[in-house]
Amino acid sequence: MGTPDFAAASLKHLLDWGGCDVVGVYCQPDRPCGRGQICTPPPVKLLAMESRLPVFQPLNFKEQADVDQLAALEPDLLLVAAYGLILPRTVLEIPRLGAINVHASLLPEYRGAAPIQRAIMDGRPVTGITIMQMEAGLDTGDILLQRSRAIGIMDTAQTLHDELAEMGGKLLVDALEKMDQGRLVRIPQDHARASYAAKLTKEEGRIDWNRPVLDVHNRIRGLFPWPGSWFDWDGMPGKTLRLTVHPGTIGDPLPEGVQPGEIHGVADDSVLIACADRLYAVPVIKPANSKPLRGREFYCGYLSRCSGDHLLKPEPTCPGE
């Protein structure tokens, strides 16, 4: 049971492993996607169809017919990864061995919908994968296996997602092998240490340049590529322009007299924007209703400044320096 790319990685590892029979694949219904709003099958469905597996896409499990359909498959175990639906107790009780979940955090930290993004936004140095036994609560079940992964200063939600998806698929297979050998140990979660990773909203992408540069950097890379990070720029006479930025690098300490939010110059191909304490070098900016531009392209085109007097050279730094 899973829907996006993250879940497809687990399904692929299961199929490559071959140690179990996948008797059915569940994912969310096809939904409109892109500018044309064309209904698109989710990645898990595409992989299942390629593998000639039966696919089921109930809207939810509130209809008894959907519960009965799952029961008719007589599954020994439900394997769940980023399904996007809350499974009721009536579903969790169907399989003989219950249900296990692939979760992209080191539980009990970051339960919920956006563990990868929230860990980066909070500046955490480490995250990982947890294989857990599912129960009625939200990511509250016993821990079966865990594996950690350091979060680099230039990691984004996309790069971390891709690595954790592969790690999750491999760890899921490890868990199934240990289960078959009777070597899985259930460890109850310490609920006092629990934290919640709420679903992302587009409004969270608004950049507050009055924050320290490391906070700004963590938020931008944690929200990349979705929902993205943006700010409203008043640099054009009589017009406010919304600018979406890509993750960049931390630059020099803030020059005297430069105010947070001010576009101060360019370094190589990046625009330098002032935060509370340092400059932030942004490599790509996308003005509203326009294509993405390299930092220098934006600076020359929208500020009409291409003189060498504005070329600054930031020194990338790491946290703690």
The reply to whether 303 sits in an annotated binding site is no
Instruction: State which H helix or E strand residue 17 sits in.
Output: helix 5-17
The reply to whether 105 sits in an annotated binding site is yes
The reply to whether 247 sits in an annotated binding site is no
Tell me, what's the pLDDT at 320? 38
The reply to whether 51 sits in an annotated binding site is no
- pLDDT category at 108 given cuts 50, 70, 90 is very high
pLDDT digits (tens, 9 = 90+) for 166-177: 999 999 999 999
**Residue owning tokens 């007589």:** 74
**Residue owning tokens 């990868």:** 116
User: 202: which DSSP letter?
Assistant: G
Q: Residue 240: beta bridge partners? A: none
Phi, psi dihedrals of residue 10, rounded to the nearest 5° = -65, -40
H helix intervals, 57-112: 64-72, 89-92
Tell me, what's the pLDDT at 311? 42
User: 76: which DSSP letter?
Assistant: S
- Residue boundaries of the structural domains of the chain: 5-197, 202-305
pLDDT digits (tens, 9 = 90+) for 78-100: 999 999 998 999 999 999 999 99
Tell me, what's the pLDDT at 235? 82
| The pairing of beta strand 239-245 with beta strand 284-287 | antiparallel
* Residue 280 tokens, joined: 């932030």
Question: Of the CATH numbers 1.10.3720.10, 3.90.660.10, 3.10.25.10, 3.40.50.2000, which one belongs to the domain with range 202-305?
Answer: 3.10.25.10
Mean pLDDT within 272-298: 96
Question: Of the CATH numbers 3.40.50.170, 3.90.1150.10, 3.40.50.10490, 1.10.3720.10, which one belongs to the domain with range 5-197?
Answer: 3.40.50.170
pLDDT digits (tens, 9 = 90+) for 125-142: 999 999 999 998 899 999
pTM, two decimal places? 0.92
Q: Is 53 helix (H, G, I), strand (E, B) or coil?
A: coil
